Amino acid sequence: ITVVRDRIQKFLRMLRNLGSEVIWYDAVTWSGLLDFQNELTEENLPYMKAAGSGLFLNYNWSLAKLRRSQELSVNSTMSTKVFVGIDCFGRGCIGGGGFGTSEALKVILDVNASRPDRPLSVALFAPGWVFEKCDLIKAAGDPIKAFRLLAEMDTKFWSYLSPLICRLRSISRGDSFEIVHKPTLPHLPVIQLPCDLYERYDSDVLFCTTCCSGQGLLPLMPCSPQSEMIMKYGSQ
C-alpha cells in the first residue's frame, strides 16, 4: 500500500508541475480502500494536500460530517478547498435533488454561518438533470417548443440556486464575495454574424458561427468554405 500511495502522490505532483488544477475526489482512501468518507478525514486529507487545489466530498454527507470537516481544516484557506458535493439527481443527498437541490445548499450555508472562520465550498454535481428530466414529448417534435421547455425548466432550476450560490463567498467577507476557481476560458469569443446572413442562406437559418461545431437540439450543417456552421429548423 505504501508503494501505491507514493505513486499516486508522485502522479499528482507531476500534474501540478504541468500547471494543472488538481482536485481529489473523496473515494479512494489512504488505507487503500474505495470508501466514500463524505467528509474531510485523515483518510482523504493526505491526497487532498497532494492534489493541492482541493477535495470534492461525496454527496452523502450530514450536518455532523460538515462540522467535523470544518474542525479538521486548520484555517479558512484549507476549508474553502473542501468542496461539499451536491447531487442534482438526489441519490442520497439532502433535498432529493431536482428542484430540491437548494435545500442541500441551505444546509451548507447554515454550517458556514456557524463557523465563518471555516467556510466550506460547494461542488454541484450533474446540473444536466434539467436536460435529462425535461419532458420533451410535449414538444411533439417541434425543436422550438423543445428549446422553450428546456429554457423554462432550466430557468426555474437555477432560480432556486442563484441567490444561494452568491452567498457562499460572502459568509466570511461581509457583503462581497470572491470567486476562487475561475474557468480556463474566462471570456467566450464574440461572433459577428454576417449582415447578409439571410441573403446567403435559407430563411429558416437560426444560428451561424465560425467558432465551433457544438451540440444542441437542432441539426448542425456545414456551409461555406470558411468552415462556418449553421443551425436550421427542421430535420437533417
In a domain, 187, yes or no: no
Highest mean pLDDT of the ranges 3-7, 59-63, 130-134: 59-63
Mean pLDDT of the chain: 80
Instruction: Confirm if 90 and 145 have CB atoms less than 8 A apart.
Output: no
Confidence of residue 180 (pLDDT cuts 50, 70, 90): very low
- Would the pTM of this model clear 0.85, i.e. be above it? no
pLDDT in tens, 136-165: 888 888 888 888 898 999 999 999 998 898
pLDDT in tens, 85-120: 999 999 999 999 999 999 999 999 999 999 999 999
Q: Residue 151: in which H helix or E strand, if any?
A: helix 143-165
What's the distance, Cα to Cα, between the start and end of the chain in Å? 54
In a domain, 83, yes or no: yes
d(CA 196, CA 204): 14
Cell 428549446 -> residue: 147
CB atoms within 10 A of CB 55: 26
In a domain, 225, yes or no: no
What are the residues whose beta carbons fall under 8 Å from the beta carbon of 230, sequence distance 6 or more? 201, 205, 206, 207, 208, 220, 221, 223
What are the residues whose beta carbons fall under 8 Å from the beta carbon of 153, sequence distance 6 or more? 130, 133, 134
Q: Structurally, how many domains does the chain consist of?
A: 1
Residue range of the domain that includes 86: 1-171
d(CA 94, CA 91): 9
CB atoms within 10 A of CB 16: 15
| Residue 221 to residues 141, 170, 200, 214, 215, Cα–Cα distance (Å) | 19, 45, 14, 11, 11
Q: What is the CATH number of the domain that holds 29?
A: 3.20.20.80
Determine whether 172 is exposed, middle or buried from the number of CB atoms within 10 Å of its CB (0-12, 13-18, 19+).
middle
In a domain, 206, yes or no: no
E runs forming strands in 100-228: 121-125, 205-209, 220-222
How is 18-79 classified by DSSP, letter by letter?
Answer: TT--EEEES-B-TTS-B---SS--TTTHHHHHHHEEEEE--S---HHHHHHHHHHSSSHHHH
Determine whether 167 is exposed, middle or buried from the number of CB atoms within 10 Å of its CB (0-12, 13-18, 19+).
middle
In a domain, 48, yes or no: yes
Mean pLDDT for 192-198 is: 47
